[in-house]
Copies of this chain bind each other. A is one copy, B any other.
Amino acid sequence: MSQADLPARVRAFVEAHCIPREDAAHVHDPVALDHALAQLRPVAREAGLYLPQLPVAQGGLGLGWVERAAVLEEAGRSYLGPGALNCAAPDQPNMISLLRQGTPQQRETYLEPLAAGRVRSCFAMTEPAPGAGSDPSMLRTTATRDGDGWVIEGRKWFITGAVGAAFAIVLAQTAEGPTQFIVHTDHPGFRLVRSIRAIDPFAIGGHGEIVFEGCRVAGDAVLGEVGRGFDYAQQRLEPARLSHCMRLMGRARRALELAEAYVNERRSFGDRLADLQQVQAMVADCHIDLHASRLMTLDCAARMDAGASVKTESAMAKVFVSEALHRVADRAAQMMGALGMSEDAPVALILRELRPFRIYDGASELHRATLGRRFLKASLGDQR
């Protein structure tokens, strides 16, 4: 089946099913949000839009990265879209990790229900200060061998998706180095302390704080090889970032569409707002930001489809896109005046959703320093 019309079909699905179900009551309410997603997923599956990122063998649509770009952007126009298609974080990167590093048994136990949308999951890496944040070497959660199993101790924080998750992929320090474990959330010693309310209102599964106290897991809880946890975490980061760019591009575009409709109608001091040059300039800058963001994202996608490294390009895209999309939403809110500040129009909520992207997956400042050093080192090489 040709998939050239997939973005248009996703758009139609989002318009017909997701946007009408958007509800400010979902703000900071992961349970209500899960409920809405549960209603949407069968519709998405029926429409042949489900699981765009997984191979056909795993029930997905088997799209490459470039093909995925437009699909994820269209899905992202509603905060319900990616979850409805089951291509939202952190389940999406977790599925990819399980596919790559999971044993056949792990795939059956964890990947299958996750892909089917029967359960959700989370990825427990970040820790409160002075633990692992941007710098994973500060990892303080430990896993100690105990017979043929392991005992995990520590505290995780800002774990997106934790509320309502069936299992977590947990990064913990072992004698052999950082290691990934799969832990059921109802396992003894795993305790979800609370959901941290953050500026982004629609995080699926919220942002949990988790305590591991004498949490004993069996030997087959290790995902991938012992000691390679950081490598795996790094590997998931680039595709995760890129998927964020795609989905959030849709969020920003939605904000812009709403603002355009508003200024096309609203009058002030005798003029349609759309006839004012400052408004026109804001609209132009939004489109320029989106255009550049899309091109940088597609460039990474094409490189990934070609099997090339995107280490530098994905970091540049992350910095630019996260900042550009926030500018788009900020201008959209500004154009809509008081309405842009309210939850009546979703623009203020989109603005809140987009703010953390400049921090999650590596703060802009961290990327800038790393990129700068890398370019300066390369430049030294050029001169030799």
Contacts and interface: CB of A to CB of B under 8 A. Distances in A.
B278 A368 contact: yes
A277 B204 CA distance: 35
A291 B133 CA distance: 29
A257 B320 CA distance: 21
Contacts of A257: 379, 382
B280 A369 contact: yes
Most chain B CB within a 10 A radius of its CB, from A288, A351, A367, A380: A288
Contacts of A382: 257
This protein's copies in its complex: 4
Interface stretch (A139-147, A217-225, A232-240, A342-350): A342-350
A376 B313 contact: no
Given A266-B129, A358-B334, A343 B292 contact: no
B207 A342 contact: yes
Given A278-B369, A295-B292, A299-B295, A359 B334 contact: yes
A165 interface: no
A261 B376 CA distance: 8
A283 interface: yes
Interface string A147-165: 0000000000110000000
A351 B287 CA distance: 25
A379 B258 CA distance: 10
Contact of A198 (B268, B341, B368): B341
Interface in A183-215: 196-200, 207
A119 to B, nearest CB: 25
Nearest to A293: B292
A344 B195 CA distance: 11
A337 B313 contact: no
A97 interface: no
B359 A341 contact: yes
B337 A376 contact: no
A363 B342 contact: no
A349 to B, nearest CB: 8
B281 A369 contact: yes
Contacts of A280: 368-369, 371-373, 376
B363 A337 contact: yes
A340 interface: yes
A319 B339 CA distance: 19
B359 A337 contact: yes
Interface string A253-295: 0000100110111111110001011111111110110011001
A169 interface: no
B266 A291 contact: no
Contact of A368 (B138, B196, B285, B337): B285
A264 B337 contact: no
Given A337-B133, A358-B334, A365-B278, A342 B284 contact: no
A262 B53 CA distance: 39
A107 to B, nearest CB: 31
A135 interface: yes
Nearest to A128: B339
Q: Which 9 A-B pairs have the closest CB atoms?
A: A280-B372, A277-B277, A284-B371, A260-B379, A295-B295, A281-B368, A283-B372, A284-B368, A284-B372
